Copies of this chain bind each other. A is one copy, B any other.
Amino acid sequence: MRDRVREARADATREMVIEAAWDLSRREGLTGWSLRQLADEVGLKAPTLYAYFDSKHAIFDAMFCQAWRALGELSATWPVDTDRPRASLRAGARSWFAFSTAELVRFQLMNQRIINGFEPSPEAYAASVASYEHYTAQFAAVGITDQAHLDLWTAMCSGLASQQLANDPGGERWERLVDDAAELFCNHVGLPPDPPLMEQG
C-alpha cells in the first residue's frame, strides 16, 4: 500500500525527468546537455537522478522506449481499407512522415545511432519491434508480404523523412514527395488501382 504510493510518486518523478530531458534535447541537442543541467531543470541535484535512473544511458533508454511506444500507438490508429489499399498506404505514409519529422531529436534517437555506446535495452528494443510488427501486419492486410518490398518501403520513407529534417527543417520540400513515393511503390508491388470514389450528389 505505502509501496504503491511511493512507486507512483517515483514514476511521476521519472516522467518529469524524461519530459525535461526531451525539452533540453530540443534546445541543446540530444547530446548537448549534462545531468547537472537536467537536474537543475527539475529542481534536483545531479546525484539524485541516480535514485531514478541507473545512468544517463538509462534516461535515453526511457526516451527511446517512449518514442517507439508513441509510434506504435499512432500506427494502431491507421485504418486499413482493403478495398482501397493505395489510399491506405498513402495515409499511413503521411501519418508516419508527420510523426517522424515533427521532432528532430526524436527521429535521431529512434533511427540514428547518435549517442555513442547507447544500445536500447531489451524492453526498449521490444517496443520498436512491436511497432514494426504493427506495420508488417498492415501491409499483410493488403497482400504485401515480400520482405524486399517492406524493406524498400522503409528505405523510401526513412529517406524522405531524414532528407526533410536535414535539408529543409520545418519545410515541406520532401513532404510533397510522399504521395509520389507511395504511388511508385504501389505500382512496383503490383497493387491494382483503387476503385473510383463515388461522390454523392
Where the two chains meet, the residues of A that have a C-beta atom closer than 8 Å to any C-beta of B are 28-32, 108, 111-114, 116-117, 148, 151-152, 154-160, 162-163, 166, 173-174, 176-177, 180-181, 184-185, 187-188
User: Whole-angstrom distance from the CB of A26 to the nearest CB of chain B?
Assistant: 13
Inter-subunit contact B151/A155 (CB<8 Å): no
Inter-subunit contact A173/B159 (CB<8 Å): no
Decide if the interface of chain A is mainly helix, strand, loop or mixed: helix
User: Whole-angstrom distance from the CB of A185 to the nearest CB of chain B?
Assistant: 8
CB within 8 Å for A113 and B108 given contacts A158-B159, A159-B156? yes
Chain B residues within an 8 Å CB radius of A174: 151, 155
Inter-subunit contact B166/A151 (CB<8 Å): no
C-alpha spacing A30/B154, complex, angstroms: 25
Inter-subunit contact B166/A152 (CB<8 Å): no
Inter-subunit contact A155/B159 (CB<8 Å): yes
Inter-subunit contact A116/B159 (CB<8 Å): no
The 6 closest A-B pairs by CB, nearest first: A159-B159, A155-B159, A29-B116, A32-B116, A155-B160, A31-B116
Chain B residues within an 8 Å CB radius of A108: 112-113
Inter-subunit contact A188/B180 (CB<8 Å): yes
User: Whole-angstrom distance from the CB of A93 to the nearest CB of chain B?
Assistant: 12
C-alpha spacing A22/B145, complex, angstroms: 40
Selected A-B contacts with CB under 8 Å, 17 pairs = A108-B113, A111-B162, A112-B166, A151-B163, A152-B180, A152-B181, A154-B159, A154-B163, A155-B156, A155-B163, A155-B174, A155-B177, A158-B162, A158-B163, A159-B159, A184-B187, A184-B188
